[in-house]
Copies of this chain bind each other. A is one copy, B any other.
Amino acid sequence: MNILYLMFDQLRFDYLSCAGHPTLHTPHIDSIAAKGVRFTNAYTQSPICGPSRMSAYTGRYPSSHGAQWNGYPLRVGEATLGDHLREAGMGCWLVGKTHMKADVQGMARLGIAPDSVVGKRQAECGFDVWCRDDGLWAVGPDGPYDSKPSPYNDHLASKGYAGANPWADFANAGREGDDIASGWFMRNAGKPAAVAEQDSETPWLTGEAIRFMEATEGPWCAHVSYIKPHWPYIAPAPYNDMYSVADILPPVRSESELQDAHPVYRAFTEGLVGRNFSRDEVREAVIPAYMGLIKQCDDQIGRLLRYLKDSGRDQDTMIVLTSDHGDYLGDHWMGEKDLFHAPSVKVPLIVYDPRASADATRGSTCDALVELIDVTATLIEAAGGEVPDHIVEGRSLMPYVEGRAHPNPRDYAISEYDYACHPVGTALDVPPRDARMVMVATRDWKLVHCEGGLPPMLFDLKNDPDELRDLGRSADHAGVRAEMYGHLHHWARRMSQRLTVSDAQIMARRSGGSSGVLLGVFDEADVPLEESAAYRGKAPE
């Protein structure tokens, strides 16, 4: 069996027709859900790309692997999905985006040559790279956001798109004569990208995925990791105007949210992103384009599924489809992600397992509390490996996929966010190590702990499913907060770094008896005769 691990960047959990979106039809993704299990309560481990993905690729929480924000290198030696899958006899390949930053200093300290196999895998978060393109080729007044090479830009150049950065000048911009209608200006969101549809990012990456499958012997896991529907919100025709203002949903927000608002939440709403996404004209420009980008993604999934069917691989290819986090799109007076309301912190998650063992659950949904890191464990188990649960903190979803009782279901889900480098950290003047938040969510409640002496946020998910009333300082809810802090601290005390010794090794050591030293022996009465002789000894001949 092979595995397609599909990830979309910034795809909201509820922007799929199988998840109930009324005007956005995603029949191809829906068809995967129809033959698999769709998880309706899946949480990302961080509502921002870098740490979310480092969690997905290690199966560990951001505070366990330490790459807590974009551009924080993943420490050298951290075990990855690739390490675990290769140990189980399966290759692990990258086709697309990871947001990985190599721990160049750590590698140098350990003498790991960047061009060795080990060095390349360390630098690429454990993947063997078919192609990597992180898809953010922005150049601003301070220079490039990302200085890596872009195979997608190379592809555009080979197709005749001119200039040093056709990603910015064509694929993520419209054109008005000689002027570039830059995707960085959201007012341009409705304009068609100045690129032929088949040359845009999503079809290009799909083509790379198909080329990979044609060329590569299994068993493999391919992380096909799409850049879209992440901003810039620019779609090629016909997707740019496939949706209109009539198709967008009203924002989930209330004026009351802004009254006596939590200081961190307030700071996010007061930034440029929050202010702009609170304007109707911004939502009306952006959301149809965002929907168009998703529609294009769905069509490309259709292309992938056709390839699998035509090549006969649909019966032996597992598919997992998810995203790294969502997009507020104006809900809660916010844009982007960064906080823990559902549009940001929940992710779509669909698992299709072609094996007969999963027949009982096809087309079902599962509302268990699950986490993005659970995918890591799931893939290891699907590959025939044993999940090293002293390293991987995720829990396999296979029991849910196979319709078995889960031996270790989650009582709560965790997500983390470090805003030390975010403008909000600067605005609030919070010291770097206090600029951290942890969300703990049960089925009924969601608490957001803020480090540094700030109050928590609290939402009653049962009676306020839209999360419009922050009860973090409500005198009536001290008991609930205490209970939620109980969960949070149970998690905070977790054992996350005993990486070199497994529970099984400990159990073996327990049953193996003494390792040569029997402590506290006073005289022969304390030890069995045989051991006593060994301890007493005779002078060597």
- List residues of chain A with CB under 8 Å of any chain B CB: 63-68, 72-77, 79, 83, 103, 105-106, 109-112, 116-118, 122, 136, 138-145, 162-164, 168-169, 173, 175, 178-180, 182, 184-187, 231, 271-277, 279, 281-282, 285, 335-336, 390, 418, 420-421, 425-426, 431-433, 436, 438, 449, 451, 485, 489, 492-493, 495-501, 503, 506-507, 509-510, 512-524, 526, 530-531, 534-540
Q: Which of B73, B173, B497, B526 meets A272, CB within 8 Å?
A: B526
Residues of B within 8 A of A111 (CB): 112, 116-118
Whether B185 lies near A524 (C-beta < 8 A) is yes
Q: Say yes or no: A282-B112 contact (C-beta < 8 A), given A77-B77, A142-B514, A432-B506.
A: no
Whether B493 lies near A492 (C-beta < 8 A) is yes
Residue of B nearest to A431 (CB): B503
Residues of B within 8 A of A489 (CB): 485, 489, 492-493
Q: Give Cα A274–Cα B520 distance, bound, in whole angstroms.
A: 8
Residues of B within 8 A of A537 (CB): 168-169, 173, 179-180, 182
The 7 closest A-B pairs by CB, nearest first: A273-B520, A163-B540, A66-B497, A140-B516, A145-B516, A180-B537, A77-B77
Q: Say yes or no: A282-B432 contact (C-beta < 8 A), given A63-B497, A136-B517, A140-B535.
A: no
CB proximity of A473 to chain B, nearest CB, Å: 18
Q: Say yes or no: A335-B520 contact (C-beta < 8 A), given A426-B510, A539-B169.
A: yes
Whether A520 lies near B271 (C-beta < 8 A) is yes
CB proximity of A364 to chain B, nearest CB, Å: 32
Q: Give Cα A531–Cα B520 distance, bound, in whole angstroms.
A: 74
Q: Which of B109, B118, B285, B496 meets A83, CB within 8 Å?
A: B109
Residue of B nearest to A189 (CB): B522
Q: Give Cα A145–Cα B518 distance, bound, in whole angstroms.
A: 10
CB proximity of A439 to chain B, nearest CB, Å: 13
CB proximity of A42 to chain B, nearest CB, Å: 24
Whether A516 lies near B425 (C-beta < 8 A) is no
Whether A110 lies near B516 (C-beta < 8 A) is no
Residues of B within 8 A of A65 (CB): 497
Q: Give Cα A5–Cα B112 distance, bound, in whole angstroms.
A: 31
Q: Give Cα A493–Cα B117 distance, bound, in whole angstroms.
A: 36
Residues of B within 8 A of A141 (CB): 514, 516, 530-531, 534
Residues of B within 8 A of A503 (CB): 431-433
Whether B169 lies near A536 (C-beta < 8 A) is no
Whether B451 lies near A420 (C-beta < 8 A) is no
Whether A500 lies near B438 (C-beta < 8 A) is no
Whether A110 lies near B76 (C-beta < 8 A) is yes
CB proximity of A230 to chain B, nearest CB, Å: 12
Residues of B within 8 A of A64 (CB): 497
Q: Which of B498, B512, B522 meets A66, CB within 8 Å?
A: B498
Whether B109 lies near A110 (C-beta < 8 A) is no
CB proximity of A133 to chain B, nearest CB, Å: 16
CB proximity of A190 to chain B, nearest CB, Å: 13
CB proximity of A120 to chain B, nearest CB, Å: 11
Q: Give Cα A390–Cα B105 distance, bound, in whole angstroms.
A: 15
CB proximity of A179 to chain B, nearest CB, Å: 7
Residues of B within 8 A of A73 (CB): 500-501
| 14 extra A-B contacts, CB within 8 A, seeds A178-B539, A186-B520 | A63-B497, A66-B498, A79-B109, A110-B110, A111-B116, A140-B518, A140-B531, A182-B536, A185-B535, A186-B522, A276-B521, A282-B522, A425-B510, A433-B498
Question: Can you list 23 contacts pairing A with B, beta carbon distance less than 8 Å?
Answer: A103-B500, A110-B110, A138-B517, A140-B518, A140-B535, A144-B516, A145-B516, A169-B540, A175-B539, A179-B537, A184-B521, A185-B535, A231-B519, A274-B520, A276-B520, A276-B522, A277-B520, A281-B522, A335-B519, A420-B510, A433-B495, A433-B498, A436-B495
